[in-house]
Amino acid sequence: MRVLHVHRMRGIGGSERHLLALLPALAARGIEPVFVGLDDPAWKANDFYGALQVPAIRIPAPRDIDPLLLARVVRATRADVVHTHLVHADVYGGVAAKLRGARLVSTKHNDDPFRVGPFRHVERGLSRLADRVITITDALHEFTVRRVGVEESKVETIHYGLDDLPEAWGVNPPDDVPAHATVLLSVARLTRQKGIDVAIRALRLLPDDTVLVVLGEGPERATLEALARELGVAGRVYLPGRVPDVAAWLRRATLLVHPARWEGFGLGVLEGMLAGLPVVASRVSSLPELVVHGETGVLVEPDDPSALAFGVAQALELPQLGEAGRERARSEFSVARMTDRTVEVYGAL
């Protein structure tokens, strides 16, 4: 069975890392996966394609709306199944699948408020073309059905899966983080969704040897740096951007914080659990499906720096949370489990 996975390429986030784990596992199950990347030329995607272990078709995609892009995707669509990921792929890959007579699967990766705005009418129309819609958490299943309005009989949940920490593609540059600091690590884009501003505000309520390190890049960098200066904690906030060896930071950290305002899954949280780190996360969206409060981490109310600081203090007193989180990650969120469920979807079509 030949399956095309279509995705707009603008960086390496949760959905991209998910595909790096899923596609080779599908190949090991006898599926023939091919990745179709709709490449934004503003981002150099060499890191992603260098790590990809299956064949790829790269199509330049400089514009959001482009009839020529649709024609190129249609020409590339020679498959039994087209599996789309996120908005651009849903539009271009979904139409191409129907024109080519292929079965269509669409994975929904986040509960972005954008999806309940005017675009929800487009998404409902696209969902009618799909043979199956996959949501990556139960919370996202509920969001997709109840708030977006996708037909429930088509929707099922398949959680992300990971077995190992991310492989390094280089050596991290030197940094100024004190060797004996208590490191609160966040693996997240610098966007309002991820709530990094909440973590910066919480630093004022934590001991002076506590620092925040955020691995990720995004449009909020300047705003976050200015906030840290305004609050007098600039020397305790480190924003190294994307780094080549995330696992090295996971091993160096004391705990992982994820103060998101909403979240599709939280792959960085799962990585922290695999690393044996206690996790302090917001009680929103999918995160209670990953973190069991009081057993593998601490859940706090979103947008509340005081609650986040208190949660960090609690977690630091309970180091056993980390090992319990590692066991939960391995038993409930394995690559094998994710892959088997995905193959079942394809087989049912």
pLDDT at position 105: 97
pLDDT along the chain (349 residues), means of 10: 95 86 96 96 85 94 92 95 95 95 94 79 86 95 92 95 88 93 96 97 97 95 98 97 94 97 92 97 95 96 98 95 96 95 96
**Residue 218 three-state SS:** coil
User: 137-162 in b/e burial notation, b at 16+ Cβ within 10 A?
Assistant: bebbbbbbbeebebeeebbebbbbbb
Nearest to 257 by CA among 218, 333, 327, 206: 206
Total residue length of the chain: 349
DSSP assigned state of 168: P
The domain defined by 182-332 folds into Rossmann fold (3.40.50)
pLDDT at position 21: 93
**pTM for the predicted model, two decimal places:** 0.86
pLDDT at position 31: 97
The domain defined by 2-161+334-348 folds into Rossmann fold (3.40.50)
pLDDT at position 32: 98
How do the domains of the chain map onto residue ranges?
Answer: 2-161+334-348, 182-332
Q: Evaluate whether 2-161+334-348 and 182-332 have a shared fold.
A: yes
